[in-house]
Amino acid sequence: MKQETIERIRKFTEDRDWDQFHTPANLAKSISIEANELLECFQWSDTDFDREHVKEELADVLVYCQNMLDKLELDEDEIVNKKMDRNEEKYPVEKARGSAAKYTEY
């Protein structure tokens, strides 16, 4: 996320004094709730969905994720790259390419 956007999210939270409610547990709950609202956009069709509604719900997920990063003082690039390293080990191209199988199944 661009720094300008991150600062806007932080200012929004700060201006409303909402940080007091942003415990890791509350933020995890909020991420899950918003992710389920995103999923609801596809409830009855994988192809017929409201793109604007999807964008709104995805943005909500991203905002809460940024709040969680801030609360836990985590660097998104660091944690994503560490996870990608693990995923690349678990899912080597020669075994995983074109397969939806879990790494324990091949």
For the chain, which residues make up each domain, given as ranges?
Answer: 1-74, 75-106
Q: What is the mean pLDDT of residues 39-51?
A: 97
Tens of pLDDT, residues 18-35? 999 999 999 999 999 999
- CATH number, span 1-74: 1.10.287.1080
Name 95's Cβ contacts closer than 8 Å, sequence gap at least 6.
Answer: 103, 106
Percent of the chain with pLDDT over 70: 100
Name 11's Cβ contacts closer than 8 Å, sequence gap at least 6.
Answer: none
pLDDT category, 84, cuts 50, 70, 90?
very high
- Look at residue 103 in the predicted model and tell me its pLDDT: 79
